[in-house]
């Protein structure tokens, strides 16, 4: 009888120890990102480096740095359990201060700060990416130039027979800067457009300039150009235009 009791006590003890071990293995604490990314850190900030693939975009405008930093520091963090794995494909960000660089990896559901992973309560990837892309190189071709952009009032897109007007400042900028970053290669004179392109009118202060586009082709009134676009331009611009209506 005593032997059975000892066995039972031992079994309960093992279960208790396993329970404690599992608790520490899977439990995690929560904290706010601004406990790590403090106001003192921000005051030492020189720039924010955002890696867009292999391209480093340097954010150094004070207003943009503040907005970017506030998005990071607003996150609620949860420490993962000890056996949680780490995902791949993070956005790499460096907070460059006067005396050190703080590396950050960002995904929609997690963040890595100084090589320590946390789960986050919201997705800020699009918010910070939008700030960073303002620092991309624009005006890579001689058609969609800076001077033309600065006089632009609206962009009119013709979807079949319906005119969709893009007049929201951010949307006009998004469409135009996408076009301005394209590398254009002139097509041979023998090239013929085999399907009806979309018409786009760039309405400026004193004139309207008409282009026609296909998924990766831009047509002016006199020439046709192949583009290096990795997206279907007609689909992209139509989507942005429809969001404005």
Name the pLDDT band for 142 (thresholds 50, 70, 90): very high
241/156 Cα distance (integer angstroms)? 8
82 belongs to a structural domain: yes
118 belongs to a structural domain: yes
163/157 Cα distance (integer angstroms)? 6
Across the strands, what pairs with 52? Answer: 55
Given 133, 162, 197, which residue is the final one in a domain? 133
Determine the structural domain holding residue 50 and report its residue range.
Answer: 29-133
Evaluate if residue 54 carries a pLDDT over 70.
Answer: yes
196 belongs to a structural domain: yes
177/170 Cα distance (integer angstroms)? 10
214 belongs to a structural domain: yes
Q: How far apart are the first and last CA of the chain?
A: 82
Instruction: Among 26-35, 51-60, 109-118, 190-199, name the most confident range.
Output: 109-118
Q: Are residue 184 and residue 96 in the same domain, yes or no? A: no
Evaluate if residue 84 carries a pLDDT over 80.
Answer: no
Given 75, 98, 133, which residue is the final one in a domain? 133
Q: What token pair was written down for 38?
A: 């403090």
Q: At what angle do helices 62-73 and 125-133 cross, to 10 degrees?
A: 170
Q: Are residue 128 and residue 188 in the same domain, yes or no? A: no
Tell me the C-alpha to C-alpha distance, in Å, between residue 30 and each of 27, 33, 35, 105: 10, 10, 11, 19
pLDDT on residue 154: 97
CB-CB contact of 134 with 64 (8 Å): yes
Q: Are residue 236 and residue 158 in the same domain, yes or no? A: yes
pLDDT on residue 23: 43
Q: What token pair was written down for 148?
A: 């033309």
Which of 78-92, 104-118, 145-159, 194-208 is the least confident region?
78-92
69 belongs to a structural domain: yes
Q: Are residue 90 and residue 185 in the same domain, yes or no? A: no
Number of domains in the chain: 2
């Amino acid at each position: 009888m005593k032997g059975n009791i000892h066995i039972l006590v031992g079994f309960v003890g093992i279960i208790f120890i396993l329970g404690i071990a599992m608790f520490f293995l899977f439990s995690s604490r929560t904290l706010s990102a601004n406990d790590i990314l403090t106001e003192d850190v921000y005051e030492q900030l020189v720039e924010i480096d955002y890696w867009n693939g292999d391209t480093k975009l340097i954010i150094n405008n004070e207003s943009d740095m503040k907005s970017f930093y506030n998005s990071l520091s607003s996150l609620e963090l949860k420490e993962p359990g000890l056996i949680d794995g780490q995902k791949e494909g993070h956005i790499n960000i460096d907070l460059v201060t006067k005396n050190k660089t703080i590396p950050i990896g960002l995904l929609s559901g997690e963040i890595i700060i100084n090589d320590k992973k946390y789960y986050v309560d919201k997705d800020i990837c699009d918010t910070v990416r939008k700030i960073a892309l303002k620092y991309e190189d624009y005006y890579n071709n001689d058609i969609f130039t800076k001077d033309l952009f600065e006089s632009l009032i609206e962009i009119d897109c013709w979807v079949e027979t319906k005119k969709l007007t893009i007049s929201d400042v951010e949307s006009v900028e998004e469409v135009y800067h996408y076009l301005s970053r394209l590398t254009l290669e002139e097509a041979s004179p023998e090239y013929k457009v085999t399907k009806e392109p979309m018409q786009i009118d760039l309405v400026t202060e004193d004139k309207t300039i008409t282009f026609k586009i296909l998924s990766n082709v831009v047509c002016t009134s006199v020439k046709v150009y192949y583009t290096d676009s990795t997206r279907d331009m007609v689909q992209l611009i139509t989507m942005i235009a429809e969001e404005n209506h």
